Structure 1
Amino acid sequence: MRVIQIGAGQFGRSWLTRIVPSCQELELVGVVDGNPLALEAVKLQAGLPEDILFTSLEEALHRVSPEAAINVTPPSVHREVSMQCMAAGVPVLCEKPIALNAEDAEELHRQSLASVIPVMIAENYRYAPIVRKLRGLIKEGAIGDIHTVHVQFFKHHPVFTNYHKDLPFPLLTDVAIHHLDMLRYLTGLEAVSVYARASTPPGSWYGTRYSDTELLLELENQVKASYVGSLASFENTGSWLGDWRIEGERGLLLFDGQQITLSQKSGKTIYTLEDRIDNRVYVVQEFLNALRSGRPGETDISDNIRTYRIVEAAMESIRMHCAVHIRQ
């Protein structure tokens, strides 16, 4: 499938050097970035030919007639870029979050539905094989009906040269959104309400931006969930997938991002899965399979907008100092 990638910055380069070359079903026919220096850098790093590099998305769409687009731009331009691709009839795989604000996210959703042009969001954490295994155990009833979920995430993440510097809630909007998507995926339940608070440790490199977030969520079926996370921890603790404790009526599941421990009355069972594939590759495979079969992708915008609405409600809760109902 002929694809273009829009965005050749720090994260875009990782797509072009690690993900796109790993997907045999992709033919990269264009790379777009408004910064010529970024294009020159990625040309050297990824070994790209000069004739597929563009500083104008409009020109790229006209010149190479792609069948799909990968949007790896900063969230502030997600809406503009995705809308331009949809106007040209080109399906989009867009990095999370959908957009920088609720208005843009909802407009993208409406436009995708109205134009019948697919937009899928690259919420890649749920695609990790070990996460799929965890979902399988829950779905099979290994711990019975879930009643509580607790998630912890702590990272020392001083890298602050990308678009994080422009986000008032970098943890919540760019990292915790992955964990909230996992929460919906693992439980099969939607979030009903959220109470949130945010902070930043004194002296943190995040300054006035909120690197730490705590959430109390109520899911469907009166299931309770909590989330505590930080990008400004003293040291890294655990996996980027987070540390999970999922309690059910007949057992307990612990997950540290690499290993699952299932505790039942009969004893404990440990599951591990060796997988060296970047889970963004699985996202691309799902995107292509969905396009070819004419079905919505698993993280199609109509699904992912529900994850986005949790984040939006959490930000409102932080501002209002009260629990906020989440739109369905």
Structure 2
Amino acid sequence: MVKAIQIGLGHWGFSWTKEVIPNVPTIEMVGYVDSNPEALARAQSELGIAEDKCFLSLDAAMQAVEPVLAICTLRTEAHYPVVKQCLELGLNVIVEKPFASTIAQAKELVALAKARGRVLMVSQNYRFQPAPIAAAELIASQKFGAVNLVSIDFRRHAPSQGYRYWDMPDPLLADMSIHHFDLMRMVLGDEPKRVSCRTWNPAGSPFGFHPIGVATLEFEKGTIVSYRGSWMSSGPVTPWAGEWTMDCAEGEIIWTSRDHFMGKAGPDRLALRARDQDAVPMPLGAVALADRMGTLNAVAKVIASGSVPPHFSSGADNLHSLALVQATILSASRGGDWVEIAEIMQ
């Protein structure tokens, strides 16, 4: 078991404390850190966490306990300084996405983790689901040959679904699409080359910034991805990972993932359609620890064994997913002009 502390017990952090961490048997919690005493008091009263495991600062926690891993579940703007402090203290880190606000900050954290010989993982939880894992394996094995075109649709109506971050900049690209961008890289086993993106905010929208966007993404091997996302859609709700159609030389791979919505939940789905044939559903293997539990378990296993599994979202790997977010935002600000990923990475 890996001894860990959690830093950040706010709204999303508390969800980690309650729903994720207790279900990962490879983790032994030795401390919880939050600068807000009310957050610590809530963890104690609602979850029965011992008072002597709760600290108002990372320094206080490090004086009292000896963790190996920091689980960083803070607001985005706090990721960089806190992760940097953790790495400087010799801790391994798993952090929520995006793991930094800029590419420069992200590169600095990756370099620091490498210099200190520590694991830095970004919790890209959508990777730990049956459908994208199966799709990645099918693409890697050339089930239907080379991939020509990938079409992805994400549809939600935020005003009627409990959305709360109306003033967040880039609520589609930065808050939601990073999941889809990261899955593109994982499933295709390829890196993006350039992107073109347009975003907009419809009349009557409660959003302060653009909740709808379309993007064309070109990957290094030549695959083109057509991506359409909306937080203001009145159409049929898609699963959180979106609806994917992967058009290959000899057939299609069609899949969806994370199909849960307002108390309802359904399994991941994947179907194969050979050229000129009907689609045939493909059975999917179970994932022992899915979603955020999967990311936390993965980082614990890497720390314990030193062996890095397939699809592990290290900080170095995640630089490319963060670059996709930055590139689409920049393209949208330029009216849809093509933006080279190399420009962003520099």
Relative to the length of structure 1, the TM-score reads: 0.93
Shift of 1:97: 0.7
Corresponding residue for 1:262? 272
Matches within 5 A, 1:121-270: 121-158=122-159, 159-161=162-164, 164=165, 167-207=168-208, 209-234=209-234, 237-257=237-257, 258-265=268-275, 267-270=278-281
Partners of 1:39 and 1:234 lie apart in 2 by 40
Indicate if the aligned counterparts of 1:75 and 1:98 stay in contact, CA closer than 8 A.
Answer: yes
Shift of 1:114: 2.6
Indicate if the aligned counterparts of 1:143 and 1:250 stay in contact, CA closer than 8 A.
Answer: yes
Shift of 1:34: 1.3
Amino acid of the residue matched to residue 261 of structure 1?
A: A
Partners of 2:243 and 2:115 lie apart in 1 by 39
Structure 1: unaligned runs, 5 residues or longer: none
1:279 aligned to 2:291?
A: yes
- Identify the range of structure 1 (227-236 vs 195-204) with the bigger mean alpha-carbon deviation: 227-236
Shift of 1:278: 4.1
Corresponding residue for 2:79? 78
* 2:156 counterpart SS class: strand
Structure 2: unaligned runs, 5 residues or longer: 258-267
1:277–1:296 distance in 2 versus 1, CA, 3 Å: closer
Amino acid of the residue matched to residue 213 of structure 1?
A: G
Q: Pick the structure with more helix per residue.
A: 1
Partners of 2:141 and 2:42 lie apart in 1 by 48
Corresponding residue for 1:324? 339
Shift of 1:212: 1.6
Amino acid of the residue matched to residue 179 of structure 1?
A: H
Partners of 1:165 and 1:77 lie apart in 2 by 20
RMSD: 1.9
Indicate if the aligned counterparts of 2:128 and 2:287 stay in contact, CA closer than 8 A.
Answer: no
Q: 1:310 aligns with which of 304, 318, 324?
A: 324
Shift of 1:165: 5.0
Indicate if the aligned counterparts of 2:167 and 2:207 stay in contact, CA closer than 8 A.
Answer: no
User: 1:185-225 CA deviation, whole Å, 9 max, x = no partner?
Assistant: 11111000001111122222212x22122111100122111
* 1:174 counterpart SS class: coil
Indicate if the aligned counterparts of 1:128 and 1:279 stay in contact, CA closer than 8 A.
Answer: yes
Partners of 1:136 and 1:45 lie apart in 2 by 42
1:160–1:38 distance in 2 versus 1, CA, 3 Å: farther
Shift of 1:98: 1.3
Partners of 1:268 and 1:318 lie apart in 2 by 36
* 2:17 counterpart SS class: helix
Partners of 1:243 and 1:7 lie apart in 2 by 33
1:46–1:272 distance in 2 versus 1, CA, 3 Å: farther
* 2:299 counterpart SS class: helix
